Structure 1
Amino acid sequence: MTIRFLDPPLHEFLPQEDEDIEALSKEMGISFDELKQ
């Protein structure tokens, strides 16, 4: 098993605001709630 401590956390690359999450969910073709999980 490899643990990479130097990689930034994934949450830094994902949108934080609900409207940004909704826009991304539409682009990806999945529901807002599914993406928010």
Structure 2
Amino acid sequence: LNPTLTSYEQLAQQAVALVQKMNAWRHHLRLVLSFEVGCFIK
């Protein structure tokens, strides 16, 4: 087993997980912001 390959794979998995987390965060923020803006307009 090549240790450098496994560490690269682990880094890639961490990067993917981080991107997914950031996307979920952005989606959540967009929902909150649109809700607050909608309440403010009303």
**Structure ID, larger Rg:** 2
Q: Which has the higher contact order (CA 8 A, sep 6+)?
A: 1
User: Is the TM-score greater than 0.5?
Assistant: no
Higher relative helix content: 2
TM-score (norm 2): 0.31
